[in-house]
Amino acid sequence: MYEENNILYGEGFLKDVRKLPREAQEKLGGLLELLRKDAFDPRLHAKALSAPLAGRFSFRITRDWRVGFRFIAPHAIQLLIADNRNRIYGRLERI
């Protein structure tokens, strides 16, 4: 048996979600359920980021939109930001 992940939503993340296109917002709900069950479910396209973003991860909402997150405990995930794939990694460096 496995333990589900607890997901913590940061205020910055919630602001970002409100700015996403409707298509991405609608898809995100289902993806968060996948993340809760298995952060590395292949449908998330989750990946560990390399330096200078070591310790952070991202998963794909759609082709153009990503979520940045980190593990704050073995089964606790903090969602940091949601943004366009062209901007998210630069923003993650500043967090």
Per-residue model confidence as pLDDT tens digits over 13-37: 999 999 999 999 999 999 999 999 9
Residues 6+ apart with CB under 8 A from 85: 63, 64, 65, 66
What pTM was computed for the model? 0.93
Catalogue all structural domains in the chain, each as residue range(s) with its CATH number: 6-93 (3.30.2310.20)
Q: What would you measure as the largest C-alpha separation in the chain, in angstroms?
A: 38
Tokens of 58: 């991202």
pLDDT digits (tens, 9 = 90+) for 63-83: 999 999 999 999 999 999 999
Residues 6+ apart with CB under 8 A from 5: 35, 36, 37, 39, 75, 76, 77
